[in-house]
């Protein structure tokens, strides 16, 4: 197939347990890709193929599958819902053209669905909404529609209404055709009848249909005017308007059903074909210069252009390493030579395949619009690297990933596993940009850093099971930072005489706190040549190299501004090295005078609790030094938003479950850094000193 208008690259995303993977499973069954549906709770779903996913009943990594519906090709990516694996959602959205946001009919708009929705807005991905689990106790389609307006600020365009609710949910009414789709109790998706609207729903259907038409026809002034004068537009004209408004994100077509009971999924597939954009409908990806700044050019989606693709995921499976790529322009054939724009290296494409979760179908060629995997690439490709034609080197807009907020120390149980652990961790870091590894210089321990306790727990589990490395795991560590609070004017001279030419560099400078989030800034106002211009980069490099290790406890330093205003040099003894060493000495000398302060990561915490435990939860968050930012009552409980230091959140899920008899849920994501209270700061600094002393022994 080469007709791009028949392609749909879509992702399915939602909060934990809203039914993304079950919906994907039903799509695969309906499109004939699988013949027996596997259930998430049995650990048998197609896209949750990792051992850890099957055991825990959660999705950990995004999985790609290809299927066909109504002569259209769907490339579907099932993404995780858990906040620790948000990176999987983010990088999938980056390469998709459309999405299905799944919401639980009883849980409604939950914390992680909010985060994923925000990511999708940032990536400008058109979506349809699927309110799932309408057969569940407490399900309410109309309440969830209202929540999408209030909580997400979205404009849902209701396309179907549910017939019955909870145990009585049997089907949906299609507002456009005024027909009822009613499924029987066999549980088979194909066993439905198309009937007339139930008599008690006629008025409601007309009310919602009128709202639907007025909103949709707002995309075409002539059609709207004719409609207001009493002339009903054709079904094709209405669909054209809905497609246009969906593509521009003016509204989001909204459907409902129960994926588990096989009710309402066909309507979703038809909506993907009718309303979600094909690759050529989407704004083309911007190209950038080497600094990552847009250069005004774009990667046009066309098979006739030169080859341009983005590597968005690297994995290692039983057959070797796989590089998942989205092709934006051109074609790729087996045996072609392509270039990694980030490294400048070229290599020949040996094998490429279309993925069916953990199975693969070998391909000989692929084209713009395709999502494929290249097998065994050797040019050190990383997530976010651009692959292109060597004759036309370009760089696509890169991906930006959040920094890890939590660390653990690990050491292999037996010394023989050290090398094995190093190789395994190297592969895992290549796969996951939010997973970092470093070696503690003082203790020699390996430090793993990630997005949360579950994230690191899964990584340790993978090391044990997949790579056979048993680890001794240390206590979780918080990623503290340091900064300064006062401006200091100071001078430093680096002088060294050792026979022959010596070293000399003198700098006069001001160090002051920068604006939050600015990192490190350096500028020079030296006039008159007291410090020659050619030494400015060396001075900047010297100061910048010291930002990784603060003076209080050795944590990285944030938001410092340095201004060089004078200095001195020696015609023979001054050199770039001398001035770089002067800057390093200056940093060590002046930072303690500038009111050095410890900062701690603050998490935006979103807690759901039943009504009768709200007081306990708020009291507990306050004891954890949390600032309550607001609370919102829902049908089945209360959502509490709070800003809480990460150091106080370890093991929180256990406390929350105890307080709420197992019914509470929470999610959290990094918000910002804030100054530590004195007592906390002192305790952290003491602990760091004690750990260093113990490591030396």
Mind listing the pLDDT tens digit for each residue in 140-182? 999 999 989 988 889 999 999 999 988 888 999 999 999 999 9
CATH of the domain at 68: 3.40.50.300
Q: How far is Cα 455 from Cα 441, in angstroms, rounded to an integer? A: 24
Closest CA to 61 of 42, 31, 81, 40: 81
Looking at the structure, do residues 591 and 621 belong to the same domain, yes or no?
no
- pLDDT given for residue 48 in this prediction: 44
CATH of the domain at 353: 2.40.30.10
* Structure tokens, 187: 């549980």
Looking at the structure, do residues 421 and 499 belong to the same domain, yes or no?
no
Looking at the structure, do residues 539 and 441 belong to the same domain, yes or no?
no
Q: How far is Cα 641 from Cα 275, in angstroms, rounded to an integer? A: 35
175 inside domain: no
**Residue 60 near residue 458, CB atoms below 8 Å:** yes
| pLDDT over 80 at 39, yes or no | no
| pLDDT over 70 at 697, yes or no | no
Looking at the structure, do residues 497 and 569 belong to the same domain, yes or no?
yes
Query: For a pLDDT cut of 70, what percent of the chain falls above it?
Result: 89
Give the model confidence (pLDDT) of 52-110 as tens digits.
Answer: 555 555 555 566 778 888 888 888 877 765 556 667 777 777 788 899 998 988 888 87
Give the model confidence (pLDDT) of 605-649 as tens digits.
Answer: 888 888 888 999 999 999 999 999 988 886 667 889 999 998 888
- DSSP H or E segment with residue 515: none
Helices 614-623 & 652-659 angle (0-180, nearest 10): 150
Give the model confidence (pLDDT) of 394-427 as tens digits.
Answer: 888 877 777 776 778 888 888 778 888 888 888 8
| pLDDT over 70 at 385, yes or no | yes
Looking at the structure, do residues 36 and 159 belong to the same domain, yes or no?
yes
CATH of the domain at 655: 3.30.70.240
Give the model confidence (pLDDT) of 557-570 as tens digits.
Answer: 999 999 999 999 88
Looking at the structure, do residues 509 and 580 belong to the same domain, yes or no?
yes
545 inside domain: yes
Give residue 225's Cα distance to chain centre: 43
Closest CA to 171 of 263, 97, 107, 83: 263
209 inside domain: no
**Residue 28 near residue 46, CB atoms below 8 Å:** yes
375 inside domain: yes
Q: How far is Cα 276 from Cα 595, in angstroms, rounded to an integer? A: 55
- The residue out of 577, 595, 613 marking a domain boundary is 595
Please provide the DSSP assignment of 618-672 as one string. Answer: HHHHHHTT-EEEEEEE-SS-EEEEEEEEGGG-TTHHHHHHHHTTT--EEEEEEEE
Q: Where are the alpha helices (DSSP H) in 563-613?
A: 576-590
* Structure tokens, 86: 């948000």
Torsion angle of C-alpha atoms 323, 324, 330, 336, degrees rounded to 10: 20
* Structure tokens, 623: 């004891």
- DSSP H or E segment with residue 132: strand 126-132
Neighbours of 380 (CB within 10 A): 11
- pLDDT given for residue 624 in this prediction: 93
206 inside domain: no
- Please tell me the pTM assigned to this model: 0.70
Mean pLDDT of 490-507: 83
Q: How far is Cα 613 from Cα 200, in angstroms, rounded to an integer? A: 39
| pLDDT over 90 at 275, yes or no | yes
556 inside domain: yes
pLDDT band at 498, cuts 50/70/90? low
* Structure tokens, 314: 């690297």
- DSSP H or E segment with residue 462: helix 453-465
Neighbours of 618 (CB within 10 A): 18
| pLDDT over 60 at 131, yes or no | yes
- pLDDT given for residue 562 in this prediction: 93
**Residue 375 near residue 319, CB atoms below 8 Å:** yes
For all residues of the chain together, what is the average pLDDT?
84
Mention every residue, 6+ apart, whose C-beta is less than 8 A from residue 579.
Answer: 494, 505, 507, 531, 535, 538, 539, 542, 569
Looking at the structure, do residues 605 and 588 belong to the same domain, yes or no?
no
For residue 93, give the 3-state DSSP assignment: helix
- pLDDT given for residue 249 in this prediction: 92
450: containing domain: 406-476
Looking at the structure, do residues 295 and 336 belong to the same domain, yes or no?
yes
- pLDDT given for residue 626 in this prediction: 93
| pLDDT over 80 at 270, yes or no | yes
Looking at the structure, do residues 91 and 119 belong to the same domain, yes or no?
yes
| pLDDT over 50 at 49, yes or no | no
Looking at the structure, do residues 469 and 492 belong to the same domain, yes or no?
no
- The residue out of 281, 303, 338 marking a domain boundary is 281
Long-range contacts of 234-237 (CB under 8 A, 24+ apart): 235/176, 235/177
Closest CA to 441 of 554, 583, 550: 554
- pLDDT given for residue 44 in this prediction: 46
- pLDDT given for residue 443 in this prediction: 61
| pLDDT over 50 at 305, yes or no | yes
Query: Is 488 buried (19+), middle (13-18) or exposed (0-12) by CB count in 10 A?
Result: middle
Looking at the structure, do residues 151 and 106 belong to the same domain, yes or no?
yes
196 inside domain: no
- pLDDT given for residue 659 in this prediction: 86
Mean pLDDT of 122-128: 89
Q: What are the Cα distances from residue 251, in Å, to 165, 190, 245? A: 25, 30, 6
**Residue 348 near residue 303, CB atoms below 8 Å:** no
- pLDDT given for residue 620 in this prediction: 93
- pLDDT given for residue 43 in this prediction: 45
172 inside domain: no
Looking at the structure, do residues 569 and 608 belong to the same domain, yes or no?
no
Question: Which of 234-248, 277-291, 327-341 has the least mean pLDDT?
Answer: 277-291
Sign (positive/negative) of CA torsion 256, 260, 262, 265? positive
* DSSP 8-state secondary structure symbol assigned to residue 226: H
Number of separate domains in the chain: 5
Q: How many residues does the chain have?
A: 697
Give the model confidence (pLDDT) of 443-466 as tens digits.
Answer: 667 888 887 777 888 888 888 887
Q: How far is Cα 108 from Cα 18, in angstroms, rounded to an integer? A: 9
Please provide the DSSP assignment of 227-259 as one string. Answer: HHTT-PPPHHHHHHHHHHHHHTTS-EEEEE-BT
Q: How far is Cα 320 from Cα 376, in angstroms, rounded to an integer? A: 6
CATH of the domain at 468: 3.30.70.870
């Amino acid at each position: 197939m080469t007709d791009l208008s028949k392609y749909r690259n879509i992702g399915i995303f939602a909060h934990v347990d809203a039914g993304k993977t079950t919906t994907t499973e039903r799509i695969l069954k309906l499109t004939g890709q699988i013949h027996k549906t596997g259930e998430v709770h049995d650990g048998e779903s197609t896209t949750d193929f990792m051992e850890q996913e099957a055991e825990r009943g959660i999705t950990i990594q995004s999985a790609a599958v290809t299927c066909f519906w109504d002569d259209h090709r769907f490339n579907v990516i099932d993404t995780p819902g858990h906040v620790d694996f948000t990176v999987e959602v983010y990088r999938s959205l980056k390469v998709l053209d459309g999405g299905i946001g799944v919401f639980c009919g009883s849980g409604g708009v939950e914390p992680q669905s909010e985060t994923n929705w925000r990511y999708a807005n940032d990536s400008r991905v058109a979506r349809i909404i699927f309110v799932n689990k309408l057969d569940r106790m407490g399900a309410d389609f109309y309440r969830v529609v209202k929540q999408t307006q209030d909580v997400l600020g979205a404009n849902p365009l209701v396309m179907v209404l549910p017939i019955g609710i909870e145990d009585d949910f049997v089907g949906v009414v299609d507002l456009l055709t005024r027909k009822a789709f009613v499924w029987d109790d066999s549980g088979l998706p194909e066993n439905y009848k198309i009937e007339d609207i139930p008599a008690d729903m006629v008025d409601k259907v007309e009310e919602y249909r009128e709202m639907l038409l007025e909103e949709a026809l707002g995309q075409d002034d002539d059609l709207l005017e004719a409609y207001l004068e009493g002339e009903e537009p054709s079904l094709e004209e209405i669909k054209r308007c809905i497609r246009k408004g969906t593509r521009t994100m003016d509204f989001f077509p909204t459907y409902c059903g129960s994926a588990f009971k096989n009710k309402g999924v066909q309507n979703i597939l038809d909506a993907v074909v009718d309303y979600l954009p094909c690759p050529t409908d989407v704004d083309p990806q911007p190209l950038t210069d080497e600094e990552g700044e847009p250069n005004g050019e774009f990667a046009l989606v066309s098979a006739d252009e030169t080859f341009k693709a983005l590597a968005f995921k690297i994995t290692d499976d039983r057959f070797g390493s796989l590089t998942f790529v989205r092709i934006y322009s051109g074609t790729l054939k087996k045996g072609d030579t392509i270039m990694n724009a980030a490294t400048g290296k070229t290599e020949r494409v040996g094998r490429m395949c279309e993925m069916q979760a953990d199975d693969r179908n070998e391909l000989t060629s692929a084209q713009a619009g395709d999502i494929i995997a290249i097998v065994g690439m050797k040019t050190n490709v990383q997530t976010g690297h651009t692959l292109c034609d060597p004759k036309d080197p370009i760089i696509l807009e890169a991906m930006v990933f959040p920094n890890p907020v939590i660390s653990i120390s690990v050491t292999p149980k037996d010394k023989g596993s050290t090398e094995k652990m190093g190789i395994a961790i190297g592969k895992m870091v290549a796969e996951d940009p939010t997973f970092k590894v470093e070696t503690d210089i003082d203790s020699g321990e390996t430090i793993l850093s990630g997005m949360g306790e579950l994230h690191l727990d899964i990584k340790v589990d993978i090391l044990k099971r997949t790579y056979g490395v048993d680890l001794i795991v240390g206590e979780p560590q918080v990623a503290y930072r340091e900064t300064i609070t006062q401006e200091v004017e100071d001078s430093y001279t680096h002088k060294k005489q050792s026979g022959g030419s010596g070293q000399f560099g003198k700098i006069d400078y001001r160090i002051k706190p920068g604006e939050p989030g600015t990192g490190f800034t350096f500028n020079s106002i030296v006039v008159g040549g007291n410090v020659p211009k050619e030494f400015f980069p060396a001075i900047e490099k010297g100061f910048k190299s010291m930002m990784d290790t603060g003076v209080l406890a050795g944590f990285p330093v944030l938001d410092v501004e340095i201004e060089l205003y004078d200095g001195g040099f020696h015609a023979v003894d001054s050199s770039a090295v001398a001035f770089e060493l002067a800057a390093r000495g200056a940093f060590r000398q002046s930072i303690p005078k500038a009111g050095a302060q410890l900062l701690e990561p603050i998490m935006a915490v979103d807690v759901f609790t039943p009504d009768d435990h709200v007081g306990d939860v708020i009291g507990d968050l306050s004891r954890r030094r949390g600032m309550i930012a607001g609370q919102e009552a829902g049908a089945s409980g209360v959502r509490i938003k709070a800003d809480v230091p990460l150091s106080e959140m370890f093991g929180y899920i256990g406390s929350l479950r105890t307080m709420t008899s197992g019914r509470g849920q929470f999610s959290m994501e990094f918000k910002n850094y804030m100054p530590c209270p004195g007592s906390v700061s002192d305790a952290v600094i003491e602990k760091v000193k004690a750990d260093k002393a113990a490591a030396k022994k």
